[in-house]
Structure 1
């Protein structure tokens, strides 16, 4: 509880949710303009029929206007999400901010692309497994594995390896366990909420509904990361097992 107040989790979750919305959607549109069908991520993020025309128009307009310079601007702007996440994780782990230079830019871009693909890759890759017995087990197992990997990879790469991957695993496990409940709830609630928002308020209603959902996921992401940090740095037996040694965690480790 002290850590939640220290990292200002409510404010940071809202910042990350907003940055995610304004960073990832343009990247997905950019990917679609490079030849991908817009339906592959429209289905993945449950875009209602009323808003698909807006998306298709954006993709068509992007195909006419995106060039090398435009694509670079989109990717550079999208790294604001990575920088916001970096500030959050340095606060969670009590570390100084990693040095920022051109050599570290690939870390920001890698995180943005991984998070963008996270919206659609689990569903796309899980569909071929849905028919395998036992039903629904394999897609959920794949989602669990992907969530653990993402929740470990993102802080590890943004912190430039300042925190060992094994110390990030407890938080990743908690996040993946949380998403086991969040994903079915999302599938049950989000499509209907988006349809209602689109009917009543148009595209702006869809945007606010997505922001609400992203805020919930961001809050869970930061909270489980903090729980993992508490476990990994605890002086007891569990903390020592996570760290792989008897030492206490320090900021220089």
Structure 2
């Protein structure tokens, strides 16, 4: 008799856990559909590309000398490209030797405009997932700072991973440092994107899966993107490099939208009062 009751209790527990998991998955899917997640991924990838190219051109114009392209050469070295692939990447971000400062000013203006549009789209993605209204001037300042935090956390994670690869126990130390930087970045960045209207404790639950998602996608793209760039550049030249960058940005946009959805669902599940209409 006791064994029968134990079996029934175990069955009920399993059913309850399955129901919770199913409910969480359903809520994520519903939230994704509510904010039109597929369209937002495409929009963020497109806006990210519009912002990325001027950013690299501005960096190249500030660091290049006598036509040398530091950004292109850096990407070629990082991705291990040779031949036509290396030439295509270098030419995409080349800074002409005779270019004047007006080109730099135009690129800087285009960069600020495109970054503002990208930040606004990211902000609306998070606000839509959490069911929050838009804000005024305060929201503009917060979303700019939030985008800087998210980008800074991503670059910091990549920089730490590269520096600790060659030291003993570098894999463990690098993973821990990357996780710490990205978790903190997601908590602070999400808080700023929501104009600090959601308590920090409600953001912690979504920061952990967002970190795992970002690191997994980051590792995958680090292995796949260089091969994709080399293959596309050999076939299509500079256009192939641009297509490869768009593919990478689609992965980045998917991480942002997925983090917004999962963070909102987990945050409002643990703290229902966090969602405001």
TM bin (shorter chain): 0.7 to 0.9
Report the CA distance shift for 1:216/1:29 in structure 2 as closer, same or farther (over 3 A): same
Using the TM superposition, name which of 23-32 and 187-196 deviates more: 23-32
**Aligned counterparts of 1:59 and 1:155: Cα–Cα separation in 2:** 39
1:42 corresponds to which residue? 75
Q: 1:74 aligns with which of 111, 114, 117?
A: 111
| Alpha-carbon contact 1:172-1:225 (below 8 Å) kept | no
1:155 maps onto 2:190 in alignment:
yes
SS of structure 2 residue aligned to 1:195? helix
1:128 corresponds to which residue? 163
Per-residue deviation, 1:141: 2.5
**Aligned counterparts of 1:218 and 1:200: Cα–Cα separation in 2:** 26
SS of structure 2 residue aligned to 1:38? helix
Per-residue deviation, 1:187: 2.1
Per-residue deviation, 1:6: 0.7
| Alpha-carbon contact 1:89-1:159 (below 8 Å) kept | yes
Q: 1:180 aligns with which of 215, 220, 225?
A: 215
2:123 corresponds to which residue? 86
Report the CA distance shift for 1:184/1:73 in structure 2 as closer, same or farther (over 3 A): closer
| Alpha-carbon contact 2:51-2:115 (below 8 Å) kept | yes
1:251 maps onto 2:276 in alignment:
yes
Q: Number of residue pairs matched?
A: 240
**Aligned counterparts of 2:129 and 2:211: Cα–Cα separation in 1:** 19
Report the CA distance shift for 1:54/1:119 in structure 2 as closer, same or farther (over 3 A): farther
Per-residue deviation, 1:67: 5.1
Per-residue deviation, 1:65: 3.0
Using the TM superposition, name which of 77-86 and 52-61 deviates more: 52-61
Using the TM superposition, name which of 50-59 and 62-71 deviates more: 62-71
Q: 1:10 aligns with which of 38, 47, 62?
A: 38
2:174 corresponds to which residue? 139
Write the deviation string for residues 58-89 of structure 1: whole angstroms up to 9, x where unpaired: 47677643455652442133210001111111
Using the TM superposition, name which of 182-191 and 32-41 deviates more: 32-41
Report the CA distance shift for 1:134/1:3 in structure 2 as closer, same or farther (over 3 A): same
Identify unmatched segments of 5+ residues in structure 1.
none
Structure 1 vs Structure 2 CA RMSD = 3.0
Using the TM superposition, name which of 167-176 and 43-52 deviates more: 43-52
